[in-house]
Amino acid sequence: MTKFSELNLDPKVLKAVEAAGYETPTPIQEGAIPPALEGRDVLGIAQTGTGKTASFTLPMITMLSKGRARARMPRSLVLAPTRELAAQVAENFDIYSKNTKLTKALLIGGVSFKEQDALIDRGVDVLIATPGRLLDHFERGKLLLTGVQIMVVDEADRMLDMGFIPDIERIFQLTPFTRQTLFFSATMAPEIERITNTFLSNPAKIEVARAATTSETITQALVYHTPRRKDYTAKDKRAILRSIIEQEGEACTNAIIFCNRKTEVDIVAKSLKKHGLNAEPIHGDLEQSHRMRVLGGFREGEIRFLCASDVAARGLDIPNVSHVFNFDVPGHAEDYVHRIGRTGRAGREGKAFTIATPLDDRQIKAVEDLVKLTIPRVDNPWTPPAGRTKADKTDKSDAGGKTADKGGKAATAEGRAAAGKPDKSDKSAERGKSRSGGNKVLGMGDHLPTFIAKSFEERMAS
């Protein structure tokens, strides 16, 4: 079995890897690091969680150990689709470069331009950025990309989903033709393949099998629920979620709750807090400083439940997550594997619950076809409150003597009288009577204020 010591990495890098507790590279690392060190372009096809961040940070640190950065001209560039993933790449860089003098800058939204400009002005060896913020700096004249020797595109498929492909193409055109490109994607959609054919030169292709199987350390369960009414769906699912959490008890030390929409993330977090559960939302509309505080609180155990969207949770590496809840069934089957993979990591046991309704049948089938497994169905721990149904409604003909003839006509005057109801012909006589004697004012019902009633009575009396 190959070890990191056999991959020709810089001794300082190897020392940092050993200090981090790693000895054996993952398949994507073993396949990508040697050609990257040779200066070749690399096309890596691998899912999040396969260790691909180290597969480009380790050779980058080794290759950049010689040379010096110039002001506003970074020597290498890493593009990530989300702030969280960019921040995670930066953390990995700090871990593996701690024995070197290499510098880095992180360009993401939610942080002031002034602080980022100051870092760029001093010169950085590694620039880690989201596409939008990178172009913002470039257009302001604060950044030059002509000195980029190594360019990394991470999570290209997610870039495609988020509409960043035009930005990626523009950034490629702003970098030197002689650059080395390390390109990573979980899938090879036609648009992704077109870009690799255009901007990569004879790349070494390393493909790790798609994460189409789920870890055996994860116990999966599906709670199926048919709502009383369509507009009750979200409310019912929130009640089911709370019931599962209560049922799991102390075993549920913490959990990530996935929703498909940012608005739902906020609603679910607010609902949990309302019921006394420690929960916080995380999604793209929140300030970066707030998102980092929430992630830090969740890692440290200060926050028990993290309500997240797929984009915000992409690439999160939190080792001690006991549970994952799919509040919404994901729209893409691969996202199911990605979501539940947040638990049961590093040999630990984990549980993943999915709440589904009849509207989710197609997505559930797609997930089960992908993972080649029927997700075990479990009993719904929540019982809907008793409500009126058609069968429960009392027959009006028994209750009040109201009958209907074959033509569907209304009840007779006699039937109305028996039920204590006025005949239609008497309605005009009832109009205008108040409670006292009582003249009602048409349109005011029985809730007519006394001072208004008096004025009308006086008028009627006159």
Residue-wise pLDDT tens digits, 22-41: 889 989 999 999 999 999 99
Tokens matching residue 294: 């929430």
pTM (predicted TM-score): 0.63
- Rounded to whole angstroms, the Cα distance separating 372 from 193 reads 27
pLDDT digits (tens, 9 = 90+) for 187-207: 788 899 999 999 999 999 998
Q: Which residues on neighbouring strands pair with residue 43, listed in sequence order?
A: 183, 205
Task: Give the DSSP per-residue string, 56-81.
Answer: HHHHHHHHTTSS--BTTB-SEEEE-S
Task: Give the DSSP per-residue string, 426-441.
Answer: GHHHHTTB-TTT-BPP
Q: What is the reported pLDDT for 346?
A: 65
Q: Which DSSP symbol is given to 412?
A: P
Which domains, from first to last, does the chain contain?
Answer: 4-207 (3.40.50.300), 218-378 (3.40.50.300), 429-462 (no CATH)
Residue 17 and residue 96 in contact, taking contact as beta carbons nearer than 8 Å: yes
Q: What is the reported pLDDT for 296?
A: 87
User: Residue ranges of the chain with pLDDT lower than 50?
Assistant: 388-439, 456-457, 459-462
Burial class (CB in 10 A: 0-12, 13-18, 19+), 245: buried
Q: What is the reported pLDDT for 435?
A: 43
Q: What is the reported pLDDT for 21?
A: 87
- Rounded to whole angstroms, the Cα distance separating 333 from 365 reads 9
Q: What is the reported pLDDT for 392?
A: 40
Q: What is the reported pLDDT for 426?
A: 47
Contacts of 49-53 with CB under 8 Å at 24 or more apart are: 49/211, 49/317, 49/338, 49/341, 50/26, 50/208, 50/211, 51/25, 51/26, 52/28, 52/154, 52/184, 53/88, 53/89, 53/92, 53/154, 53/315
